[in-house]
Amino acid sequence: MFEFNIIIVTILKDKVRPVFPFTAIVGQEEMKLALLLNVIDPKIGGVMIMGDRGTGKSTTIRAIADLLPKIEVVQDDLFNSHPSDYDLMSDSVKSQIESSNHLPTRFIDVPMVDLPLGATEDRVCGTIDIEKALSEGVKTFEPGLLAKANRGILYVDEVNLLDDHLVDILLDAAASGWNTVEREGISVRHPARFVLVGSGNPEEGELRPQLLDRFGMHAEIRTVKEPSLRVQIVEQRSKFDSDPYICLEEFRDKQDELKLSIIAAQKRLPDVKIDYDLRVKISEVCGTLDVDGLRGDIVTNRAAKAFAAYKNKTKVEINDIKTVITLCLRHRLRKDPLETIDSGYKVQQVVNSILN
């Protein structure tokens, strides 16, 4: 058995980069649930994670990306194009498919792209080589971070410090699923389907309400106060730092189990139904809370379906809605500077009175 473990660890060292296992993360259930639901249904619209420094935001986000199964992409394509889904293909791949029956493919890890705070618009969206276009008549596109993040996760740490113009671009691309770059009459468009995850510390400032509303979910995390839990977190991290590969092996079965649950939920999602009465109650909650627009209704419906799929069900129940609705609505309430009640608690009060 000892020799077998040594062989396993050796294989892991060759093939697995040391990322803290998602199933080893203690606490922060709200953040973990929001991330899981977004990878089950990326159309939820991403998640904004606000919380204290040193609460494991970045660790958890990187861990969820490492948990996801590999995806099939067209070989040598700049945009991680899907070999059969037209909505996830670049224009060049579409034209190749029309002229050829077979394109070589390969499997890659789900892209996890970090967007640095100092990134320029060209770095995010990509740029067109105008000189080459004019001199050689060739439309050359240098892909940006949105191209690399297609079919993956785009993570923006300290998103509340990012330029509002760039946040707008990210949210537009995440909502439409496409990125268009136009320069000097030349236009390039490519798919940009990704889960947008932003994190930040509320002490450093909030996002504008118009931008915050565009995130599907909003998770708030706090520093763990219970001494025994804090000790458990420290011990888990120390164990990983001393030998990450042994830690990965320890949690391999749990990781594999969760990975299979995510895949099963993604397949089950199209079959999940939500009764008309429950949809009316969701809208009643949104109306009572005076939520502007209909994004709150739409996201809550999507998140409830994703949660039901994750729980191995094909029909949404009232408890599924109760579990996700605070995550979907707390950031959409109008801010009152004199209000002393936490927005999440305010949502919960209304939910308890309507969803019973």
Packing angle of the helix pair 343-354, 276-288 (nearest 10 deg)? 140
What residue has token string 């899981």?
36
Q: Are 311 and 340 spatial neighbours (Cβ–Cβ below 8 Å)?
A: no
Please choose, from the candidates 203, 202, 230, 233, the residue with its C-alpha nearest in 3D space to the C-alpha of residue 218.
202
Q: Is 295 a catalytic residue?
A: yes
The sign of the CA dihedral 77, 80, 84, 90 is negative
The overall longest dimension of the chain from CA atoms, in Å, is 69
Q: Are 175 and 194 spatial neighbours (Cβ–Cβ below 8 Å)?
A: no
Query: DSSP letters of 113-181?
Result: EE--TT--HHHHHEEE-HHHHHHH----EEE-HHHHTTTEEEEEETGGGS-HHHHHHHHHHHHHSEEEE
Catalytic residue among 268, 295, 302, 330: 295
Active site residue ranges? 295
